[in-house]
A and B are shown apart, each in its own frame.
Chain A
Amino acid sequence: MNNMTLMTRLEVVVPARDAPDIRELITTSGATGYTSVSGVSGIGHHGQHSGALLFNEYDTLTMIITVLPPDKASELIDAIRELLSTSSGVMFVADTYVSRPEYFQ
Chain B
Amino acid sequence: MAHRRPRSALCPIVDRDRASSADCPRSYVMSLILRAHIASAAHNIMPGWPIQSFIAVNPLAGHEPISFHSVTERNVALTREHRAYLADLREGRITEADLEQAISERIPELARATISVIGQEVAAVRIAVLDMTSVQGSPTRTAAPVPASRSMLWLDEYLAAWLPSYVTLDPLWPMPHKQKGLFGAWRWLANQDTSLPRAVRRALRDVSVSADAALAWALERLAVTPELIRSTLAQELEHLPGWVGYIKWRAEKYGDIDLTSYLAIRFVLRALLTIPLTPSPIPPLADERALLWQRAEHLTARLSEHPARQDVAAVARVLAHHRPDEHRFTWQKAYELNYRSSLLPSLSSTTPPMKARPQLQVVMCIDPRSEGMRRHLEASEAVETFGFAGFFGVPVRFARYGARGSIDSLPALLTPRHSLTERPALPLQAEEHLARGRARDAVRQAAHIADTSTGTPFAFAETTGWFYGATSFLRTFTPTLYQRLRRALARPDPLHGSVTMGEAFTLEERAGIAETAVRMMGLSDFAPLVVLAGHFSESVNNLYQSALDCGACGGNPGTANARAATAIFNDSAVRAMLLLRGIDIPDGTVFVAADHNTTRDTITVLDRHLIPDSHRSLISDFEGLQRAAGKKLLYERAADLPGATKRQSVPRLRARADDWAEVYPELGLAGNAAMIIGPRTLTRGVDLSRRVFLHSYDTALDRDGTALETIMTAPLVVAQWINHQYYFSALNPDTLGAGTKTIHNAVGTIGVLAGHGGDLRRGLPWQSVGLGTKLFHEPMRLTVIIQAPLDRVGDIISRNQALRHLLDNDWITLTARAHTHAPWHRYTSYGWQTTTAPMKGQST
Contact = CB atoms under 8 A, between A and B. Distances in A.
Interface string B1-22: 1110100000010000000000
Contact of B798 (A28, A48, A56): A48
Interface in B211-264: 230, 251-252, 258
B185 to A, nearest CB: 20
B442 to A, nearest CB: 40
Contacts of A30: 2-3, 5
Given A55-B714, A78-B32, A47 B414 contact: no
| Chain B contact surface mostly | helix
B317 interface: no
B32 A56 contact: no
A20 B39 CA distance: 9
A26 to B, nearest CB: 9
A87 B40 contact: yes
A83 B36 CA distance: 5
A64 to B, nearest CB: 14
A88 interface: yes
B412 interface: yes
A25 interface: yes
A29 interface: yes
Interface stretch (B332-340, B695-703, B799-807, B834-842): B799-807
B32 A87 contact: no
B389 interface: yes
B555 interface: no
A25 B35 CA distance: 7
A20 B248 CA distance: 10
A82 B147 CA distance: 32
Given A50-B713, A55-B389, A20 B252 contact: yes
B801 A55 contact: no
A100 B251 CA distance: 32
B710 interface: yes
Contacts of A53: 709-710, 713-714, 800
A25 B252 CA distance: 13
A22 B118 CA distance: 63
Interface string A17-52: 010110011011110000000000000001111100
- Counting chain B residues whose Cβ lies within 8 A of the other chain, the interface size class is 35 or more
Given A30-B2, A56-B414, A87-B40, A46 B801 contact: yes
Contact of A56 (B40, B393, B714, B804): B714
B799 A49 contact: yes
B43 A86 contact: yes
Interface in B6-52: 12, 30-33, 35-37, 39-40, 43
Nearest to A80: B36
A85 B30 CA distance: 17
Given A24-B39, A57-B415, A86-B43, A79 B33 contact: yes
Nearest to B230: A86
Nearest to B248: A20
Contacts of B3: 30
A58 interface: yes
A49 B798 CA distance: 8
Nearest to A81: B36
A54 B800 contact: no
Given A55-B710, A59-B717, A59-B801, A88 B65 contact: yes
B713 A79 contact: no
B413 interface: yes
Nearest to A88: B65
Contacts of B411: 55-56
B413 A56 contact: yes
A68 B32 CA distance: 15
A99 to B, nearest CB: 22
Nearest to B42: A21
A95 interface: no
B214 to A, nearest CB: 15
Contacts of B389: 55
A23 B710 CA distance: 27
A46 B717 CA distance: 20
Contacts of A50: 709, 713, 799-800
A55 B40 contact: no
B713 A25 contact: no
Given A48-B799, A82-B37, A76 B714 contact: no
A28 B43 contact: no
A36 to B, nearest CB: 12
A42 to B, nearest CB: 10
B39 A28 contact: no
A47 B798 CA distance: 8
A60 B554 CA distance: 19
Contacts of A75: 12, 30, 32-33
Contacts of B230: 86
Given A29-B2, A30-B3, A86-B230, A56 B30 contact: no
Contacts of B1: 27-28
Contacts of A76: 32
A82 B1 CA distance: 22
A58 B413 contact: yes
Given A28-B2, A47-B801, A78-B30, A54 B710 contact: yes
Nearest to A30: B2
A67 B37 CA distance: 23
Contact of A55 (B2, B251, B713, B798): B713
Nearest to B711: A55
B395 interface: yes
Residue in B32, B393, B714 with the greatest tally of chain A CB atoms within 10 Å: B32
Interface in B683-736: 706, 709-710, 713-715, 717
B604 interface: no
B483 interface: no
A58 B554 CA distance: 14
A28 B413 contact: no
A55 B804 contact: no
A86 B230 CA distance: 10
B275 to A, nearest CB: 27
Contacts of B412: 58
Contacts of A87: 40, 43
B413 A24 contact: no
Contacts of B252: 20
12 contacts: A24-B35, A24-B39, A28-B1, A28-B35, A48-B799, A49-B799, A49-B800, A53-B800, A75-B12, A75-B33, A83-B40, A85-B40
Given A28-B35, A58-B717, 19 more contacts: A15-B801, A21-B36, A25-B32, A27-B2, A28-B2, A30-B2, A30-B5, A53-B709, A55-B414, A56-B717, A59-B713, A59-B717, A75-B32, A78-B33, A82-B37, A82-B40, A83-B36, A85-B40, A87-B40
Interface of A: 15, 18, 20-21, 24-25, 27-30, 46-50, 53-59, 75-76, 78-80, 82-83, 85-88
Interface of B: 1-3, 5, 12, 30-33, 35-37, 39-40, 43, 65, 230, 251-252, 258, 389, 393, 395, 411-415, 516, 706, 709-710, 713-715, 717, 798-802, 804
